[in-house]
Structure 1
Amino acid sequence: MTTSRDDRRRTFDSVPPGTEPTSWWGRAWTAALEELSRDSGRLERGLAYAASGKVDAITITPGLLVAYVRGSRPRPYRTELALAPFGDEEWRDLLDSLAADPACLAALVEREIPRSLADRILPGPGDLLPRCSCPDGGRPPCKHVTALCYRTARLLDQDPFVLLLLRGRGERELLEELTRRNAAHAARERPDTAPDFPGVPARTALARVLAPLPAPSGPPAAPGTPPAYPADPAGPDPLALDQLATDAAARALALLDTGEDPYAALTLWQDAVRLASAHPTSGLTATARRLYRDLAHATGRTTTDLARAAAAWRQGGPAGLAALDDPWDPPAGPFDRARPALLAAGQGPFRPHRNRLTSATRQLRLGRDGLWYAYESRPSADDWWPTGRPSADPLHALGHPDRA
């Protein structure tokens, strides 16, 4: 499978084996086309085509599935299934519903379509529009479209984000938007007080002269009950501790290999952001929200601040976080080159302010590393979030197709 840089074009060179879908949403997908067809002979021939490997690579973009299906003629037929993508208002309603429902959100992150969303995102019999270049003059769908439908159902079994891409949003941008909205919900759930955990800085602990360790005890006669963290509501969450322990183990291994801690120079805020950005879905699942709240409390920030900073860290590491938090006054040269280039590419005028160029809902920030970092905001809102990957070329950073 290949994915384009803008996250809204995916090509699957191979499809999971089998023809019959195994998930309930995969079956609902094929049922929509089967009800449209009502021709058992065509459906059986399409199923046989799918089983015999006649469907080539499947490309998916918002609103359209395309594949070439090999039939009786030497030249394969271009076969399409169209599904209307959602408008902005429909996406806002859907994302708000997901972010407000932890169980629904967790299911989607685990690559399952929640049944509560079935009527909203799955196609009905009249929603799928088939097209094929074959000479079949009968009522669509033809056997080639049916074969494509069955193979797509197997993709949906493995990855329901395929369906959401058809509806208009790529997986990465969808998860980033859900992270943003979920952080806002988590901030409203933040308790008035958070526990303070006693401890000392690691450097202080390591500097102490400790007594020799006692001799290890012998093995027990029989396995006992595994230790469990006390169910203390004021204590840290065990799953958050597991993430911190995993991170500590990785840093310990780096110390053994190189003699240096790769993160020793980070500030408290930088290290909290690094931990929060460990996975693209951090802060989305219910198990990670407690960690987000504790990290935000420990640094005196909100969970929304932390989610935004984690997105900046995933965008460009420490330099990406600096582009978010550190406005500065760069020399005129980069701006003098960037603004005419943006105008010439039809991107519209960008207003300069310090190290930022802003135009409506888009913004470019020049980092101290000489790279441009792209940001987006909702219309009429000063709520900027990192997007894309940094580049020395401002058009490339914006995702301009001519600079891909």
Structure 2
Amino acid sequence: MTAPAPRRPRPDDRRATFPAMPPRPAAEGEFATTWWGNAWLASMEDTALDAARLGRGRDYAARGHVDAVTVTPGRVMAYVHGSRPRPYRTEIRLRTLTDDDWEDLLRAVADRPDHIAALLDKDMPHALAELSDLLPAAGDLVPDCSCPDDGYPCKHAAALCYQTARLLDADPFVLLLMRGRAEHEILGDLTRRSAARTAAERTATAPAMPTVSAESVLADRQLPALPPPLPVPDRPGRPPDYPQAAGAPDPFALDLLATEAAARAHALLVLGEDPVAALTPWQDAVRLAAAHPGSGLTASSRALYRDLAAATGRTPTDLARAVAAWRQGGLAGLDVLEHPWDPPAGPFDRARPALAAADLPALRPWRNRLTGATLQLRLGHDGLWYGYESDRDREDWWPRGIPDTDPAGAVIALLGR
């Protein structure tokens, strides 16, 4: 799907008007065709108060009820036809990036030629979108409409949001214009940065590489020692960006796997061993999920939790609970979550008197656990006490707090004293 061409901007113009798009045939599945178009829609759908209004807005957009769309920094505006003869003036507002945000973003793009190529090919790399929060999160879009409907959003604002997703599908520079800069500004800035970088590279002196002359190699004598191996890099390399293509693997999953492979290869070079080779598939899935934001923050992290849970035969809730245990105590914390055991006499038997002496709630023992109404302590094989919390009258225990060698210290951390 190709978006209508905007009018040609003046050199200092940050305004683009796209002609009304033709109706699109009714189709099942997602309205947008790109991951960033769907992320745009998710920011509205996740905070909508009425699913019925969203459905009517989606139908309005599909039937061509949205007139020409004008995009300026921080605003998207269009007239939307409804049930009355006169269309409604509808707009969606969002925050623009600061000058510092733009400096960070443009520097990152200039450092990655593949990012520049992707943008020119009308593609939005995941890493670039997440760098300066280009895509709006839930609640970032502020709809406004001249209609009398006070829904959030009304069906006209929802229609404009769905139609805007089609523009974003065709050209990610529309999103960059919303955030404050026009395409000609961005490309001009990147051209200047690239020229400066090329000039600096031409004047830099390459370090001399150790060599061995052909005459000395062929001479009838003992050969000189080989040059020393190249030094190990100080950090893993960055994988390339993977394009979104029909039938191809998920680009976010490929990026995650490539990044993990680079990190493990670097660790093998530095340490002489793979630090995660001994983990089971489930433990490794928990480790991967724990290294990323929680499942409710972004669409990509929610998809990561969903896919990892499905691949290991668990639910996203199981994975989220295991991630909390991993962040609490790593592999030992995960073991405490999943494997009750019978500790020997000693520290466990002394825990209840120590808690009573500290005037803390009484806890009933079972195997390596001491349980109260809303809090629980679990003794790990490492000798640390791990805190857990649950709602009253529910057996839904979640890891909380920092492990402590002192059971009273672990409880005090849970109670926030």
Question: Which structure has the greater CA radius of gyration?
Answer: 2
Q: Which has the higher contact order (CA 8 A, sep 6+)?
A: 1
Q: TM-score, normalising length from structure 2?
A: 0.44
Q: TM-score, normalising length from structure 1?
A: 0.46
